[in-house]
């Protein structure tokens, strides 16, 4: 994954916080689930789709973020040991989000999918990527996310990394969101980690480092 691609995905994340999208594609679809307050953009060009999930920008989003005390089985396979963040998966599984994305994949004959997101949006992108790979395994998937929290347990991590191996998590120094939910609670990160923004030594995490614009200088220095 080259630096230009990482910067472009970061810009898509920034644009996702706005309803007006300046770039021109064959089609741009805005999904806005009023119940779960999930927003994402589907940018379609030929047989390629870029999915960008918006990060936390409302009180409802932060309530969903906090629902990590009890992880759950994602898709009712009770023999599976996979467990994921209760709030994230309940938001993503909404039919107007998950169902709409899958419908557009089929309708537009998509063969290549890139996914991105910042913060809460990054977690949704992770869940979406592995779900799409399971349902459309012949497609090519690539994921670049920023300030991503942990999403699931070690069994989720293992399954995800086999299915969506082209995954890069960009992590700014002392970004507190990348430290939660806590590893001691059984949560694990997926994909490969790209650390930016100076030394990642032990210190108090902070909100400043999590801001999307704080990721830009570190990426440009790569």
CB 180 within 8 A of CB 68: yes
Total-model pTM: 0.93
Cis, peptide link before residue 86, omega less than 30° from 0: no
| Residue showing tokens 């399971």 | 134
| Percent of the chain clearing pLDDT 70 (strictly above) | 89
**CB atoms inside a 10 Å sphere around CB 217:** 11
Tokens 């980690």, residue? Answer: 193
The pLDDT tens digits for 83-130 are 999 999 999 999 999 999 999 999 999 999 999 999 999 999 999 999
Q: The tokens of 118 are what?
A: 């910042």
Question: Would you say residue 60 has pLDDT above 70?
Answer: no
The vertex-121 CA angle with 62 and 112, nearest 5°, equals 160
Q: Is the pLDDT of residue 64 over 70?
A: no
Q: Are 150 and 180 in contact (CB under 8 A)?
A: yes
Q: Band of the pLDDT at 21, cuts 50, 70, 90? A: confident
- Where residue 19 falls among pLDDT bands split at 50, 70, 90? confident
CB atoms within 10 A of CB 66: 12
pLDDT band at residue 57 under the 50/70/90 scheme: low
Residue 65 has pLDDT above 60, yes or no: no
């Amino acid at each position: 994954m080259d630096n230009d691609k990482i910067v472009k995905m970061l810009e898509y994340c920034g644009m996702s916080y706005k309803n007006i999208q300046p770039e021109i594609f064959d089609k741009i679809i805005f999904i806005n689930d009023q119940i779960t307050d999930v927003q994402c953009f589907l940018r379609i060009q030929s047989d390629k789709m870029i999915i960008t999930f918006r990060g936390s920008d409302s009180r409802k989003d932060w309530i969903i973020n906090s629902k990590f005390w009890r992880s759950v089985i994602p898709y009712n396979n009770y023999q599976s040991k996979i467990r994921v963040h209760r709030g994230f998966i309940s938001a993503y599984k909404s039919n107007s989000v998950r169902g709409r994305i899958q419908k557009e994949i089929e309708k537009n004959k998509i063969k290549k999918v890139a996914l991105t997101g910042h913060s809460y949006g990054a977690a949704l992108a992770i869940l979406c990527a592995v779900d799409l790979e399971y349902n459309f395994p012949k497609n090519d998937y690539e994921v670049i996310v920023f300030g991503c929290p942990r999403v699931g347990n070690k069994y989720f991590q293992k399954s995800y990394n086999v299915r969506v191996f082209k995954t890069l998590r960009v992590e700014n120094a002392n970004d507190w969101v990348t430290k939660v939910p806590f590893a001691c609670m059984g949560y694990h990160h997926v994909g490969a980690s790209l650390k930016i923004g100076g030394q990642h030594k032990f210190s108090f995490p902070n909100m400043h480092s999590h801001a999307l614009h704080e990721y830009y200088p570190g990426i440009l220095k790569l």
